[in-house]
A and B are shown apart, each in its own frame.
Chain A
Amino acid sequence: MNTEKFKPFLPIVGVAGLLGVWSVVTWQQWVDPVLLPSPVLTFKALWQGMDGGVLGFDFVKTVYRTAAATLIAAVIAIPLGIVLGSSENLYRSLEFVIDFFRSTPASAMFPLFLILFGVGDETKISVAAFGAVLVILFNVAYGVMNARKTRLLAAKVMGASRLRVLFDVMLLESLPQTFVGLRNGVSLALVIIVVAEMFIGSQDGLGHSVFEAQQLFEMPRMYAAIFAAGVLGYGLNLLFLVIERRFVHWSGK
């Protein structure tokens, strides 16, 4: 038998298996149907919610906040990371501070940011941006610092000035690592946004949707919102991978 032909279909096996087990469990009522609704009910709730329903609105809200937080973080972190990375002494001086706040759970900052920005969108977006900034910054700086020495020397031998070396070599050398930072950053931003939507006076967003459905015991809707959040997280990661493959074609080669 030729197994090569089936390789592209392998990822479907896990999905089908999960749906199969889930169907059997709910069909046999091994779990209380209130706690775990059937796949059919869940996907119906997902479809109805997304197709002009409240879930779709919440989805868009979460996308907007995550995108805004990531964009702000990238605009701050990328130039700063390049500056820090191009001077090793500067980076070493700030390394502890960056690592410390990178290790601090961003959720611990909610109360502080609530005082600074109130209960609106600004708080959620700025906490998420805060978390993402440090992740992106760290990766960009390392990308610049780890630029191949031979490549820098080659540019120097060809008469490139320091500024030229920075823009023509270091910047491009750091791009693969920058994308690692962006993917981690957007994932972290989504986590923070969803948590913020659950607890800090939110009226909308996927986090709010999950939390509200749980409070009202609308379990299919809750699972639907969880799936929507999963799709969003996977989609964002995929989006950055596609952009990376398009623009950083040399990555990993």
Chain B
Amino acid sequence: MSAAPHALRVQTAGAPSSPAVGATKRPHVTIRGLSKRFDKAVIYDNFDLDIPRGELISVFGPNGCGKSTLINMIAGLIAPDAGQILFDGMLLSEIKFGYVFQNYREALFPWLRAFDNIAYPLKMMQVAPAERRARTEKLVAHLGVKIDLNLYPYHMSGGQQQLVSIMRALIVEPEILFLDEPFSALDYEMTLFMREQLQRIFMETGTTTVLVSHDLEEAVFLADRVLLLSRHPARVADFTPVKAARPRTDATLSDPEFVLTKAHCLDVFQREVRRA
């Protein structure tokens, strides 16, 4: 387990891709010189990162290192103090993206039925009602979701509500999907079920996905690569690839290679936690 094949490349700002043909995938998101401070705490200082296309990236790191801050800056919820984030060379305002909040109860609109919650982003894109309906029905059928979407969110279980949130993020056919600790408010049984759902959705759509997780097993289980951050100011401690084939199942959890990858991530994490 070496940290060598990670996707972080030292590049100058404004040159999002190397001309390598075929060998490496063009990075989807390029982050250059990102800086952010809250009061006196420097969370990011001249931070660079490439996020590869079509992969599921888990972000993991010590408490308060800025995991959520990172995806919130990428998704435009928090303005960075300095730096540039480009998506295929384009700005956030030029692309379609989805964001799933941890707190589904507050993120969904309780005055809309689940179906209309899912279709809401299309309304913002000025899609006609008939087409909104058709596209929502198509997504539901595509994902094979078996929930009564005529219910209001408050009549649904936590997992169902979060599934509705994820579908709401997917309805715009996003180029990139962000999830901020999406399952941490769910009970364990539901969490396992939702991991499976998310993996299935990822395999179906192949959308570049950035997932913040506070559970190492979950981070490794779901990811193509685990982004391990140091204490703030955050650096990339490691960008560990996870090789296990999909669909990953309960058996994957005890697969020797998976166990090794997880142990490696834990090692890096412990090293970063102890570095005071």
Q: Which residues of A contact B (CB under 8 A)?
A: 148-151, 153-154, 156-160, 164, 168-169, 172, 248-250, 253
In the complex, the answer to whether B110 meets A154 with C-beta atoms within 8 Å is: no
B101: chain A residues within 8 A (beta carbon) = 150, 153-154
B192 vs chain A, min Cβ distance (A): 25
Query: Could you tell me the distance between the alpha carbons of A112 and B258 in the complex, rounded to whole angstroms?
Result: 81
A123 to chain B, nearest CB (A): 39
Q: Which of B75-126 contact A (CB under 8 A)?
A: 75-77, 99, 101, 103, 106-111, 120-121, 124-125
Contact B124 A164 (CB under 8 A): yes
B193 at the A/B interface (Cβ < 8 Å)?
A: no
Which residue of B111, B120, B121 has the most chain A CB atoms within 10 A of its CB atom?
B111
Consensus secondary structure, chain A interface: helix
Please name all residues of chain B whose beta carbon is closer than 8 Å to the beta carbon of A160 when the two chains form the complex: 124
Pairs across A and B, CB under 8 Å, 24 listed: A148-B106, A150-B106, A150-B107, A151-B109, A153-B77, A153-B101, A154-B101, A154-B107, A154-B108, A157-B75, A157-B99, A158-B121, A158-B124, A158-B168, A159-B121, A160-B124, A164-B124, A172-B111, A248-B111, A249-B111, A250-B110, A250-B152, A253-B110, A253-B154
Cα-based distance from A158 to B99 in the complex (angstroms):
8
Are B124's CB and A250's CB within 8 A?
no
Q: Give per-residue flags for B152-166: 1 if the beta carbon is below 8 A from chain A beta carbons, else 0.
A: 101000000000000
**Contact (Cβ within 8 A) B120 A158:** yes
Please indicate the chain B residues that have their CB under 8 angstroms from the CB of A156 in the complex: 77
Whether A172 contacts B77 by the Cβ 8 Å rule is no
Q: Considering the complex, give the chain B residue whose CB is closest to the CB of A161.
A: B124
CB distance from A167 to the nearest CB of B (A): 12
Q: Point out the residues of chain B lying under 8 angstroms from A149, CB to CB.
A: 106
When A153-B101, A172-B109 are in contact, do A159 and B77 touch as well, CB less than 8 Å? no
Is the CB–CB distance between B124 and A249 below 8 Å?
no
* Cα–Cα distance between A157 and B124 once the two chains are bound (Å): 10
A138 and B37 alpha carbons, distance in the complex (Å): 36
Minimum CB distance partner of B120 in chain A: A158
List residues of chain A with CB within 8 A of the CB of B124: 158-160, 164
State how many angstroms separate the Cβ of A241 from the closest Cβ of chain B: 18
Chain B residues within an 8 Å CB radius of A169? 109
The 9 closest A-B pairs by CB, nearest first: A250-B110, A150-B106, A253-B154, A159-B124, A158-B121, A148-B106, A157-B99, A154-B107, A172-B111
Please give, as numbers and ranges, the residues of chain B lying within 8 Å of A168 by CB-CB distance: 109
The reply to whether A150 and B103 contact each other, CB–CB distance below 8 Å, is: yes
What are the residues of chain B within 8 A of A250 when measuring CB–CB?
Answer: 110-111, 152, 154
Q: Which residues of the other chain, A, contact B103 by a CB distance below 8 angstroms? A: 150
Complexed CA–CA distance, A114 and B15 (Å): 76
- Chain B residue nearest to A248 (CB atoms) is B111
Q: For A164, what are the chain B residues with a Cβ–Cβ distance below 8 Å?
A: 124
